[in-house]
Chains A and B, each alone.
Chain A
Amino acid sequence: MSNKAARRTLIVLLWLVLWQLASIAVNNNILLAGPYEALLALIRLGATSAFWLSVISTVLKITLGFATGLMLGCLCAALSYRYGLFREVISLPVSVIKSVPVASFVILVLIWAGAPSLSIVISALVVFPMIYYNVLSGLDSTDRKMIETSELFRFRFRDKVNHIYLPSVIPHLRSAVAVSAGMAFKSGIAAEVIGRPLKSIGSGLYQSKVLLATDELFAWTFCAVLLAFLFEKAITTLMRRLMSR
């Protein structure tokens, strides 16, 4: 283990010890469960099929929402770049999606579509504007001179995209994906807490609040943080591999 990794591990352990000491001092598991109790709760939850079904369902839905937002964002950015009128028409809805609080959308989606598809729609709505603005900004910053050159030489559409537009879009897209992957997960789970669809991490979090089970709340939270981290890593690694080809 490198010095840096060892130092980071020690720092994490220090905070865990402080948390455990605080929990002992408070001496009330409802107010503050310690990391040991949270670990026990996680093991307890992990032994049930309902826990894994919740995790799988949430991950699949958020992944689907993320992919939808990513594709729609790229498509709309390409259309906006190509057609000025489309850019003007879509600018208002995109600004609205970006500015309206997620909670408002959660309630609207609950009314329109119901709880089962809630996290799909919400994570798509969170991802869409970020991808849209970043991809559009990448397209707008494409070298005009190279576009001119490719048009005079009549490059194939595929070559134009690969060698003229993508090199400009990729850095913007990469940073947008890294930020929006984490955001999709957090907002998707937050939406589940409000909408409480069956078999979801959000529902688990809500249940632990109702039952005043702070240890389970921490267990679910740890699970959500870990999944968001893994999701972000998986998406950015996938992007890096795809883009380097």
Chain B
Amino acid sequence: MKIVLDKVCKSFDGRPVINDFSHVFETGNSYVIEGPSGIGKTTLLRIITGLTPCDSGSVTYDKIAKPRFAPVFQETRLINYLDAVRNVKLAARDLPDERIREELSRIIPEEELSKKVSELSGGTARRVEIVRAILSPSDVLIMDEPLTGLDDETADLVSSYISDNIKERIFIASSHNKRLCAGAHSLVLQ
């Protein structure tokens, strides 16, 4: 599968954010979008997922009408009153609880799993979101600054967890952190 962005432009209040951006994203590959804050990385990710329409240019999906996206947004987006397992289960409902628990415990301490996510630290909640995206049946993994709020050791653990689980999907992330997917294609927004 391919996602083809052709001469994509996007402005907010007359200020151009994305200008003539073209790229082809292919299954099995990883892409890390880099660039300074405010350059339009999040906007580009939202355009790829179809959440934000572009002003001109096109986003087309090859061999599939509309791919299934599994996102990790810049800010936490979990159901606060549910625990980590229940949150992941909503997006990966075919998986048994035990499998979800096992997967979560690879990057989150076991004792955190039965707490409501509102009681978790920002970094732990972030990891719950990453596992949710990884376990969700999807064609494209989209992660906006997934390593934000993680210390170096945890960032390494999470980064290798992501790399090990991309499988036959397209992985697109924005990140300032060089740890994320060492072999990924780097796209620098200027």
Using a CB–CB cutoff of 8 Å, the interface residues on chain A facing chain B are 145-146, 148-150, 152-156, 159, 163-164, 167
Contacts and interface: CB of A to CB of B under 8 A. Distances in A.
Contacts of A156: 93
Given A146-B77, A163-B79, A163-B82, A152 B90 contact: no
A105 B161 CA distance: 66
Nearest to B92: A153
Interface of B: 49, 51, 68-71, 73, 75, 77, 79, 81-82, 90-91, 93, 132, 136
Contacts of A145: 73, 75, 77
Contacts, number: 32
A245 B69 CA distance: 31
A152 B75 contact: no
A223 B118 CA distance: 47
Nearest to B132: A153
Nearest to B75: A145
A146 B81 CA distance: 14
Given A155-B90, A156-B93, A149 B70 contact: no
A164 B87 CA distance: 12
A149 B79 CA distance: 10
Given A153-B132, A163-B82, A164-B79, 14 more contacts: A145-B75, A145-B77, A148-B51, A149-B71, A149-B73, A152-B51, A152-B69, A152-B70, A153-B90, A153-B136, A155-B90, A159-B90, A163-B79, A163-B90
- Interface-central residue, A149, A159, A167, by most chain B CB under 10 Å: A149
9 contacts: A145-B73, A145-B75, A146-B79, A150-B90, A152-B71, A153-B136, A154-B68, A155-B90, A163-B82
A152 B133 CA distance: 10
B70 A153 contact: yes
A149 B77 CA distance: 7
Nearest to A145: B77
Nearest to A148: B51
A153 B138 CA distance: 8
A163 B68 CA distance: 21
B79 A153 contact: no
A92 B73 CA distance: 40
Contacts of B132: 153
Nearest to A155: B90
A150 B81 CA distance: 16
A156 B94 CA distance: 12
B36 to A, nearest CB: 24
